[in-house]
Amino acid sequence: MRLEDTLLNRSEKKCELCQATTGLKVYEVLPQSGNNEDNCIMICEKCIAQIDKKEELDSSHWSCLSASMWSEVPGVQVVSWRMLNRLRNESWAMDCLDMMYLDDERLAWAKATGDHDNDSAVDLHKDSNGNVLQTGDTIVLTKSLDVKGTTLNAKMGTVVKNIRLVEDNTEQIEGKIEGQVIVILTKYVRKQGA
C-alpha cells in the first residue's frame, strides 16, 4: 500500500491536525531518514502554509492542537509540540504544553529543527508599506535604482509587472525592467493597487 493511501486511511481522509477534509497532502516531519507512516502526516494546505511560515499564524485555527496533541502518531505529536511552542504567548497554548508529554526520543526529534524556538513571525515578502507580495503582482518603484553591472537606471515610479519572489530571501524580488530581469529590494517597492 502506498504511503499516501496508508495516511489517508489512518486519518480517515481528514487533516491530522485540524480535521479539515479538503486540500490534504502528505507532510514530512523533518528531520528524517526515509519516509514512513510515523514521520509523515496527512494535513491540509492551510496547516502546511502556516507551519512553513508562508501565511500569517492564525491562533484560532491552531486551537485544534488541544485535541491533536493527544494523537498516538509520532509525527502529529512532534508538529503539535512545535506549533504549541510557536504559539506559547497564548495562554491556552501554554496550558497545552504544560499537559503534553513527549518521551526523550520524540522531544529530541521535535527540537531537532529549531523551529519551536522561532516566534510566530512568518517569512513573507512585503513591500515598503507592509503589504504582502505574491508572485505575479505588479509593483511600483518608490526610489530610483542604479542596477549593478549595467548602465540601467530604474526610475522612481517605474511599474514592474509579473514579479517573482526570491525563495530564500524575503527582502528581494525579481522583475523585468527594459527587457532585463533584475533583483529589486522589497523596501524600494509599493504594491500597485494597495
Spatial separation of the C-alpha atoms in residues 194 and 140, rounded to whole Å = 11
Show the cell assigned to 137. Answer: 503582482
Confidence of residue 121 (pLDDT cuts 50, 70, 90): low
**What pLDDT does residue 193 have?**
81
Whether the pLDDT of residue 82 is over 80: the answer is yes
pTM of structure = 0.68
Show the cell assigned to 108. Answer: 529530541
Which residues are bridge partners to 17 per DSSP?
none
* Residue range 166-175: mean pLDDT, rounded: 88
Structural domains in the chain, CATH included, are 3-117 (no CATH), 139-191 (2.30.30.40)
* Residue range 113-121: mean pLDDT, rounded: 64
**What pLDDT does residue 56 have?**
83
Spatial separation of the C-alpha atoms in residues 14 and 165, rounded to whole Å = 31
Which residues are bridge partners to 68 per DSSP?
none
Give the orientation angle of helix 104-111 with respect to helix 74-86, to 10 degrees: 50
Give the tens place of pLDDT for each residue, 17-36.
Answer: 999 999 999 999 999 878 89
Q: Tell me how far the alpha carbon of residue 60 is from its chain's centroid.
A: 17
**Residues across the chain:** 194
Give the tens place of pLDDT for each residue, 152-162.
Answer: 888 999 999 99
Instruction: Detail the DSSP E strand segments found in 35-156.
Output: 40-44, 139-141, 145-146, 153-154
**What pLDDT does residue 23 have?**
96
Confidence of residue 115 (pLDDT cuts 50, 70, 90): low
Q: Which residue has the higher pLDDT, 52 or 119?
A: 52
The mean of the pLDDT values for the chain is: 90
Residue type, 39: N
